[in-house]
């Protein structure tokens, strides 16, 4: 297995689109995320619990969605350990149908480049059905 | 805005500045890293293949950047689930999260987490509660800082935005 080639800081320009990745979020993924994370809030797998909580249906864990964004960033960066900082505001829930899946798209663009520090701020647009589900989403990535 | 009548439950704003004792040591396993990576679509080989991780200079397979939240959320329970917090978990939604890594988390790490209550802010029917989980290794060197903001609905409003 070979690791992806790492991008080079000097090649980056502010505003440049770096990557665009789509993920299907279905109930199976939510169950896997619940088990892996230990977050067993039933609003993430049980329709009745979700409706009782005033939600339109089962929703994805906010951290599962941010995890997808992180996956897209590290795939581009070529090293999961290069992601120094990652954060977002959970603006809208990702409602996950059954059967079927919610399509989440993650687009990364260059926010700023710090040549001295050897890092790039990647601004993330994370949408589901054209609506931003995360806002203020950004990552700081160390590059050579 | 005038303050309405007292509520049966409510977040106690006087706990700002409170810190909770470090959690039990959490040992990071290759299996847990692989599980979280699979669940979040993180398909970089350094999550599952030690050779790929070593090639990048890591001591063992590397955790995805959101892995630290697994430790942070466990530790936050010492505060969030405590009776003194006044937080009704059925009325909580996750509003904001930020992870800062001082170094990558790798399999074999033995980590402890200390939770601090940084901010409690009333905004209409919502109370925003910000905690900071400081994750450190066995030598007490900082590994990750996880800042979480929960929005607690305290009125009868059925829905609100984080």
The interface predicted TM-score of the complex, written ipTM, equals 0.95
pLDDT value at residue B154: 81
Closest CA to A63 of A37, A97, A24: A37
- Is the CB of A80 less than 8 angstroms away from the CB of B46? yes
* Burial grade of B114 (CB within 10 A; 0-12, 13-18, 19 or more): middle
Question: How sure is the predictor about A101, in pLDDT bands with cuts at 50, 70 and 90?
Answer: very high
CB-nearest partner of A38 from B47, B55, B74: B74
Nearest residue in A to B51, CA atom: A1
Distance of alpha carbon B61 from alpha carbon B108, whole angstroms: 9
Walk along chain B (162 residues) and give the pLDDT tens digit of each residue: 555 444 435 899 999 999 998 989 999 999 999 999 999 999 999 999 999 999 999 999 999 999 999 999 999 999 999 999 999 888 888 999 999 999 999 999 999 999 999 999 999 999 999 999 999 999 999 999 999 999 998 865 444 443
Q: Determine which of B60, B66, B152 to mutate to test the interface with A (most A C-beta atoms within 10 Å).
A: B66
pTM of the model: 0.93
Q: Write out chain A residues lying below 8 Å of B97, CB-based.
A: 62-63, 66, 87-88, 90
Q: Touching check for A36 and chain B: CB below 8 Å?
A: yes
Question: How sure is the predictor about A72, in pLDDT bands with cuts at 50, 70 and 90?
Answer: very high
């Amino acid at each position: 297995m070979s690791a992806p080639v790492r991008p080079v800081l000097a090649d980056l320009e502010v505003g440049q689109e770096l990557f665009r990745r789509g993920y299907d979020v279905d109930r199976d993924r939510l169950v896997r995320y619940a088990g892996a994370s230990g977050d067993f809030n039933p609003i993430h797998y049980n329709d009745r619990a979700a409706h009782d909580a005033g939600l339109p249906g089962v929703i994805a864990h906010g951290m599962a969605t941010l995890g997808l964004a992180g996956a897209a960033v590290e795939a581009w960066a070529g090293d999961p350990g290069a992601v120094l900082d990652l954060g977002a505001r959970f603006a809208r829930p990702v409602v996950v149908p059954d059967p079927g899946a919610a399509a989440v798209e993650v687009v990364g663009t260059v926010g700023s480049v710090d040549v001295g520090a050897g890092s790039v701020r990647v601004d993330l647009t994370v949408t589901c059905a054209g609506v931003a589900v995360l806002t203020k989403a950004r990552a700081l990535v160390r590059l050579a | 805005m005038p303050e309405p009548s007292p509520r049966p439950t409510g977040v106690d704003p006087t706990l700002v500045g409170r810190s909770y004792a470090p959690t039990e040591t959490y040992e990071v396993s290759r299996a847990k890293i692989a599980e979280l990576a699979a669940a979040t679509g993180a398909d970089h080989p350094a999550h599952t293949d030690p050779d790929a991780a070593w090639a990048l200079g890591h001591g063992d397979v590397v955790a995805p950047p959101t892995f630290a939240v697994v430790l942070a959320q466990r530790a936050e329970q010492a505060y969030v689930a405590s009776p003194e917090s006044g937080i009704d978990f059925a009325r909580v939604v996750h509003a904001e999260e930020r992870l800062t890594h001082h170094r990558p988390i790798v399999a074999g790490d033995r980590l402890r987490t200390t939770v601090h209550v940084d901010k409690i802010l009333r905004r209409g029917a919502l109370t925003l509660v910000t905690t900071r989980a400081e994750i450190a290794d066995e030598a007490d060197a900082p590994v990750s800082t996880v800042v979480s903001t929960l929005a607690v609905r305290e009125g009868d409003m059925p829905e609100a935005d984080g």
